[in-house]
Amino acid sequence: MEHRMELFACRASKDFACKVVDELNLIGANAGEKYHLGASEVTKFSDGEFVPSFTDSVRGATVFILQSTFPPTENLMELLLTIDAAKRASADKVIAVMPYFGWARQDRKDKPRVSIGAKLVANLLTAAGVDRIMTCDLHADQIQGFFDLPVDHIYASKVFIPYLRSLNIENLAIAAPDMGGAKRANAYAKELACPVIICHKSRERANVVASITAIGEVEGKNVVIVDDLIDTAGTLVKAAEVLMEKGAASVRACATHAVLSGPAYDRINNSCLKEVFVTDTIPLKEGVDTSKIKVVSMAETFAAIIRKVYNYEPISTEFIF
């Protein structure tokens, strides 16, 4: 039997998967390659239980299943059941493509008597039968080590850095919203040949920031805050306010995952932020004002890496850092 690739999407990533397939067809056009999104469905019971199934055969195929786990609980369960269905349908390999990896903020025990959610999710994915994971900008890089199987960790810098260059922002400075983001901010600043600013924050509790101070030369700079995700936007908006108070000419933000929960959209719209750049790993909410938010697609990057992984080609050229 000729080996083949099959691409499927769970419900949270249908739109993103369609864009990935379009990019795959563009990339593979010269080689005569044609790609499509496989047919699948989810049957729901009245109590909320659901059963994913494949309409198309996956026997002997390398199956790529695209699913961001946001919101995390139901979408993770759907991904696990879909992986299990593929393995039971005799797929040769199953690769979970998780543009956004939910539970990644639970990467360690930061206080007594708590779980390490990211490790548990890794165990669940492995138990379901996944052979490889593909994800983007994990909240903590060390989560890759929670798996005893290959993890392709993609960086949104691949699309963000060229995009920021194209804007030709004068007196640019890159800022980290907290000490944990200093490594990412330094990497962006190095690529863009500009200074870096570090914001130091103290929290009262989860999603509640007490105070922020900025370290670095801010006066007259057009600052871009870089982060892996925006949740409630509390930290982001406070950091922007502090930077403007210290003399920044403007403040923008650049974050991979648009979680944007609770009051996030209102906070961004009512803030001093000039623009917010996000990727399409998570779709924006419908019916809200997104005029300040610009989406930079990761579909081409994921498509290129999916194709290279399937063909056993090196993928290091697809990374900036």
Q: Which residues are catalytic?
A: 201
Count of CB atoms situated within 10 Å of the CB of 222 = 17
**SS3 state at 68:** coil
Q: Evaluate the omega torsion of the peptide bond into residue 71 and state whether it is cis, within 30 degrees of 0.
A: yes
Q: Smallest Cα–Cα separation from 297: which of 239, 251, 258, 250?
A: 258
Question: Alpha-carbon dihedral of residues 264, 266, 270, 274, nearest 10 degrees?
Answer: 50
Query: DSSP string of 101-140?
Result: -TTTT--S--STT---HHHHHHHHHHHHT--EEEEES-SS
H-helix or E-strand spanning residue 199: strand 196-205
Which of 26, 12, 7, 22 is closest to 73 using CA atoms?
12
